[in-house]
Chains A and B, each alone.
Chain A
């Protein structure tokens, strides 16, 4: 279905399934998801609350273990029925960026330190990182707040910082889980526009989970998740 024969895929998933077990009760959230994302493209996922969008992103990020299925990050093929290896975790630091509805900034360090943290984790921290972080923050319109601590920023500003952080390591793919969910309409729009522009400028592929139809339409392809299956609309 969503197989594209394009050779330069950023990310590809085949037959991903996930079942949660709560005691005797079984909840099959995802049933054989297939998905392929060409480089520098964007894809939106909509769906009702609790239909498994976050779970799907977690599987794509190898944060969570699937029941079955296979996943390709660039040219790295991984089986998803096991937890991520150390190597995969380390690779994730440079391959993937993540943005969540709640911003998850580290409160004890300032904005610049938050944004440069991924480079420290992926051990690519050098002098150029600071400059890159600054220019990303400029791009996100919060270049004048770099010495603030997150606690003093508004929600919109925090999400801009979180996006800059997600993009710092020049990831191939950015996973954004309802990034505007906590923001008012106007601010959400601003942040979303910045996110989309930054991704296309950086050449980063984007998977965007959103409830907002207008935002979903701004991506190259739109999908809808229901009853464990992903359908293109």
Chain B
């Protein structure tokens, strides 16, 4: 083993022979590690938030929007043209603007988006939004078994509204409650479950009964409805206006005569007016309002999205606004190869814009929301700005400790020179001590950060419960939403790897620099004076 002697002595001063560690080096290494851990964790969390917001924004707005600069009607031509490019997966036109909605005396003016029913769901994850917005009814001896509405529930005579609008108007989508069930159907492997609830299902009582040999019967006394059904796949569908069921029997048969009883509640209706309709109404024209049903309630996780909002079909908005042939913009979804690389996405948007810059602007999501990400970035830099001086304080502590050790070892320093050690080498012992502290601290700190990221939910819950108690926990969790935060490990994302690496190198550099002043002192020492030192 031919390690240079200054490194050997530096190591031995930190970890002397026959003692496990010196107290100083333990403190210094742990200090560096803790500081590094905090820096990495804070930045990793900030990046996690940025990622989450990024995903939420893309969900709510697509990767980019094409916005017409003049009232041109050539959008369908452009749509075809864009779709012919291999980088573009989907293009969906939309209409957007405020509409007045009304239920009896209650009104709301949601920002309304009309999306193309065929292409819209491929750009906007409507199902996801609907899942977030679902609410269950409370009832006595009945169980709310209403399934999450499907995006197919959006038609030209139905709309999805945000929770806020629903609460304001006091309306709800259709619901189905189970009021009774035979024992053999309660078995989760044998039973039936409500698969879908069309927005047109009327309020009624339904009975679903097993007739044996794979045959079921769905009956509603009030509606005078009766139909025998056999599952297609596992789905029992008696057509529009009826609830759809899924049979869970996994090869086995339920008891003959077993039945389930349900009560359905018809979805509410609301009246929709456009600004132009209101104008015409003011001019005393008789304007029949457009009546639509509530197909579902949605929640968009992106906070920048209007809380008071409504999603309808493109044709519905076209109809109430009487803007035939126009569109307010198009959502564009790119292939992952483009969408994951902001520079490529930006470049492609500019390329698309160039030949038609008079008529269309192509705006990527991060340009449109630059204000928000600038804010997050600002916050991140501010954090770093606060933490770096803290890191420097740690470095001063190391510098002071190493300086004291230089003063304690003046005579040994003189001896090493007398034995033929070059002054630079003697000085470098202290610099190397700083480096070793930084290196070990960096390794330990990265390890701690990995542990923290791995157990982040447990740690956060622990802290939150300590502060807010068990009840407060859900509230805080909702607010910060750290459970859904994705904080990638360094081997999972290059961004995370560079965070780890940057801060690890920073701490190594800073503690090496901290050793530099003592090293300089040591190497400037006159060996004769050093040896005389008492």
- Decide if B76 is an interface residue (CB 8 Å cutoff): no
Q: What string of 1s and 0s marks CB contacts (under 8 Å) between A54-78 and chain B?
A: 1100100101100000000000000
Q: Is the CB of B527 within 8 A of A118?
A: no
A86 within 8 A of B: yes
A92 touches B420 (CB 8 A): yes
Contact with A along B493-534 (1 / 0, CB 8 A): 000000000000000000000000000000000111001100
C-alpha gap A58/B415 in the complex (Å): 12
Known pairs A93-B420, A108-B12; A63 contacts B2 (CB<8 A): no
Bound-complex Cα distance A122 to B425 (A): 12
Contacts of B17 in A (CB 8 A): 108-110, 113, 149
Interface pair A149/B418, CB less than 8 Å apart: no
Give chain A nearest CB distance to B477 CB in angstroms. Answer: 51
The residue that A90 contacts in the complex, of B5, B414, B422, B531, with Cβ under 8 A, is: B422
- Per the bound structure, the CA–CA distance linking A104 and B412 in Å amounts to 6
Q: A110 and B18: CB pair below 8 A? A: yes
B16 touches A109 (CB 8 A): yes
With beta carbons under 8 angstroms apart, the residue of A86, A104, A120 that contacts B411 is A104
Question: Is B147's beta carbon under 8 Å from chain A?
Answer: no
Say whether B417 contacts A89, CB under 8 Å. yes
Number of interface residues of B (CB under 8 A): 27
- A-side contacts of B418, CB under 8 Å: 61, 63, 92, 98
A3 CB–B CB distance under 8 Å: no
CA of A92 to CA of B527, assembled, Å: 14
A59 and chain B: residue at smallest CB distance: B528
- Determine whether A33 belongs to the interface, using a CB cutoff of 8 Å to chain B: no
Q: Is the CB of B528 within 8 A of A58?
A: yes
Query: Which residues of B (1-40) have their CB < 8 Å from a CB of A?
Result: 2, 5, 8-9, 12-13, 16-18
* Chain A residue contacts of B411, Cβ below 8 A: 102, 104
Which of A55, A64, A108, A118 makes the CB contact (< 8 A) with B419? A118
Asked if A100 and B531 make an inter-chain contact with CB atoms under 8 angstroms apart, the answer reads yes
Q: Across the interface, do B415 and A104 meet the contact criterion of CB distance under 8 Å? A: yes
Contact between chains at A108 and B420 (CB < 8 Å): no
Name, among A54, A93, A108, A147, the residue most crowded by chain B CB atoms within 10 Å (CB to CB).
A108
Closest beta carbon of chain A to B523's beta carbon, Å: 12
Is B416 an interface residue, CB under 8 A from the partner?
A: yes
Given contacts A108-B12, A108-B16, contact A118 B420 (CB under 8 A): yes
Bound: A63/B528 CA distance, A: 6
Chain B CB count within 10 A is highest, among A94, A120, A147, A149, for A120
In the assembled complex, how far is the CB of residue B290 from the closest CB belonging to chain A, in whole angstroms? 87
Which of B8, B412, B415, B527 has its CB near the most chain A CB atoms (within 10 A)? Answer: B415
Query: Could you tell me the distance in whole angstroms from the C-beta of A38 to the nearest C-beta in chain B?
Result: 23
In whole Å, how far is B100's beta carbon from the nearest beta carbon of chain A?
A: 82
Q: Closest residue to B416 on the A side, CB-wise? A: A121
Q: Is the CB of B5 within 8 A of A117?
A: yes
Known: A64-B528, A109-B16. A121 touches B419 (CB 8 A): yes
**Which residues of chain A have C-beta atoms less than 8 A from B420's C-beta?**
89-94, 96, 118, 121-122
Within 8 A of B (CB), among A108-167: 108-110, 113, 117-118, 120-122, 125, 147, 149
Q: Using a CB–CB distance below 8 Å, which chain B residues touch chain A?
A: 2, 5, 8-9, 12-13, 16-18, 411-412, 414-423, 425, 526-528, 531-532
| Sample of 5 further A-B pairs with CB below 8 A, known A63-B418, A89-B422, A94-B420 | A64-B527, A102-B411, A106-B12, A110-B17, A117-B419
**A-B pairs with beta carbons under 8 Å apart, 7 shown:** A104-B414, A108-B16, A109-B9, A118-B419, A121-B416, A121-B425, A125-B2
